[in-house]
A and B are shown apart, each in its own frame.
Chain A
Amino acid sequence: MTAGTAEKPTTHRVRAEKKAKAHLSEGKKAERKLGWLLCAPAAIVMLAVTAYPIIYSVWLSFQRFDLKFPDQREFIGLGNYITVLSNQYWWTAFGVTVLITVVTVAVELVLGMGLAWIMFRTLVARGLVRTAALIPYGIVTVVAAFSWKYAWTPDTGYLAKLFTDGAPLTERASSLAIIMLAEIWKTTPFMALLLMAGLALVPDDLLKAASMDGASGWQRFTKVMLPVMKPAILVALLFRTLDAFRVFDNIYVLTAGSNNTSSVSMLAYNNLIRGLNLGIGSTMSVLIFISVAIIAFIFVKLFGTAAPGSSDEGRR
């Protein structure tokens, strides 16, 4: 959400900073040292609350550890990984998760771009339009999911009879479609917000110059706006992909994972919290962690996504 403000240094400042970077003065060095000192406590706390649980769950994933059978705890090496990775439920859930991620992020990108354009270009009631567009994102997911659930349930719902006579949430294909719809409905505004920040990056002069040169609307969009917006688009895609991969609440409420609609997070919850199987559950958490890390790696290293503010221009 800060992408726009953080990446909007004026050209003068950029030049000044580049000069300063070349030979750091004594004052700058001291300032930098103070900076490190000031953020050290925060960094240490972050390590304690994130690194410790991660290491502990890796440690748990190497054990047979079921709270129901406390006496039978033992170290079993990669046994849990073999169990999970050779299990059809895991791969079904993995497939569902990937499907939901790819479809929702793709649709959200297109819709989000449109919404961002509307929010950006609105002349009348700009504040109202922007607020209205953000409402779905502001509603607590579980609450929204419940209203979707009732809407799609026969007797109580106004949508249930839309396509079939049956109950759409009892069929796998329609359940998945409804889950994806709920996800898209909810997070498109977030995508739009990030993209709107990107739109703000496109200088008006550039567009005017392009149209003077005779570029059509489509050409201005693909040849001028998209390249300038690329960092913002990639950040938006990265955030949403990571987020979508961890999809949980909508599935939990809408189908609770029945008819093979579980995502990997849902599966981990079922095994860890409901099944009390710390070994298998932690194994799944670690596997989700690895998947998320791979996605982040691909975006950052291969596509060159940069976190907002971390581009060379923004660095001091």
Chain B
Amino acid sequence: MINVYYAPEENFQKVVDDCNQEAQGKYRIDYQVLPRGADDQRVQMVRRLAAEDDGMDVLGLDVTWTAEFASAKWIKEWTGAEKDEASKGTLEQPLESATYEGKLYAAPKNTNTQLLWYRSDLVPNPPKTWDEMIKMSQDLKSQGKPYEIDTMGAQYEGLVVLYNNMVASDGGKILNDDGNKVEFDDGAVKALATLQKFASAGVTNPSFTNTQEDDARLQFQGGSGAFQLNYPFVWPALQEGAPDLKDKVKWARYPGIDANTPSKVTIGGYNLAVSAYTKHPEESFAAALCLRSPEHQLFSAINDGVPPTIESVYSDPQMDKAYPFKADILAQVKDGANRPITPAYQNVSTVLSATLSPPADIRPEQDAKDLRGSIQDALESKGVLP
């Protein structure tokens, strides 16, 4: 019996059933559904792992947790044939998110990235940069048309992702390459200014500083938005929930900083790791590989909308209908940016979101100075988390 702890995903049970059939009795996977919120998922697993609970076998980890779980020695390293299978044909950025100190600790299950969704009836040509988009939005506002740029601005991970997109698109760095020292270069400081400018330009929803993914979707679907920066899940929801909007909405690559440099967008998604305390390591690795096999990634992409991590899956014709925007997703993931990879990511993220919130009050130079200190403290477990 293999216990798989994974986030709620509507059709994941079908994948599990399928794997159980394929296993022909070698193992039987039991899908244990974790809470919906990412923080709650992590807290539940962390508390049990800290107590060396052997009832967990395969863990569904958000891409930002892999380093932390590896450093804490809670998950097993992938080696040999299993490592080869987990990395074969897997896109580079998702694979990097599963790697810590040069070793592979998880098999990327699905990735994710945000696109720019826009109202083609209001904006014939999508903007390429933030400046352009803000300008377009202000023009629409002065004409009395829907103008909002709806995206995530609450004090949580979503705000850090928004900021990280700006940093990466500008070639900036928050941490050094080893993930053990704060860098926070000019690009990172410039991104602070960009974020501040966006938040104070009068183009956001009034609830911007309390908006998470689904709130942004609802704001846009409500008709007040001209632009939405959000994950692909908004597409099927739009088809069902806003019939009068669905034909007017198109997508484009996420806006960048410089018109001639394509944006680099933070990738999300889940990796499957094997708990260090499992009693059935061999079967756990096999089960994890089955759950993320190309055919199951295709199934999940079509039925649950989660973008695959294996490149060849994108060329399957079945993807065209469910993912009319698959070329943009693939391009963005290939050219994507990871969030800083460090075991202390949770702390770095908490410190960042606290300083960035509310975005309209950012003072770039002063905040950069504070962040250099507080992020370094977070890396050395000296800092106090707000």
Contact = CB atoms under 8 A, between A and B. Distances in A.
Contacts of A12: none
Contacts of A275: 346-347, 350, 385
Interface residues on B, range: 20 to 34
Nearest to B153: A170
Interface string B204-224: 001101100000001000000
A141 interface: no
Contacts of B354: 89, 258
Contacts of B73: 70
A165 B347 contact: no
Given A70-B73, A167-B210, A259-B357, A270 B386 contact: yes
Given A170-B209, A258-B154, A274-B346, A67 B72 contact: yes
A153 B385 CA distance: 26
A83 B210 CA distance: 30
Contact of B50 (A67, A257, A260, A267): A67
Interface string B37-63: 001001100110010000000000000
Contacts of A154: 206-207
A169 B350 contact: no
Nearest to A64: B381
Contact of B385 (A70, A270, A279): A270
A1 interface: no
Contacts of B358: 170, 259
Given A258-B357, A275-B346, A267 B381 contact: no
Interface residues of A, number: 36
Given A167-B210, A170-B207, A259 B155 contact: yes
Interface string B154-168: 111000000000000
A269 B68 CA distance: 18
Interface string A229-270: 000000000000000000000000000111110100001001
18 contacts: A68-B343, A68-B344, A68-B381, A69-B381, A83-B382, A83-B383, A83-B384, A89-B385, A153-B210, A166-B207, A258-B156, A260-B386, A273-B47, A274-B39, A275-B346, A275-B350, A275-B385, A276-B50
Contacts of B155: 256, 258-259
B36 to A, nearest CB: 14
A267 B385 contact: yes
A262 B381 contact: no
A188 B72 CA distance: 45
A277 interface: yes
B207 A89 contact: no
A68 B206 contact: no
Given A169-B210, A267-B386, A277-B347, 15 more contacts: A68-B72, A83-B383, A89-B386, A166-B206, A258-B155, A262-B386, A270-B386, A271-B384, A273-B43, A273-B47, A274-B39, A274-B346, A275-B385, A276-B50, A276-B346
Given A68-B344, A170-B358, A280 B384 contact: yes
Contacts of A167: 206-207, 209-210
Interface in A140-180: 153-155, 165-167, 169-170
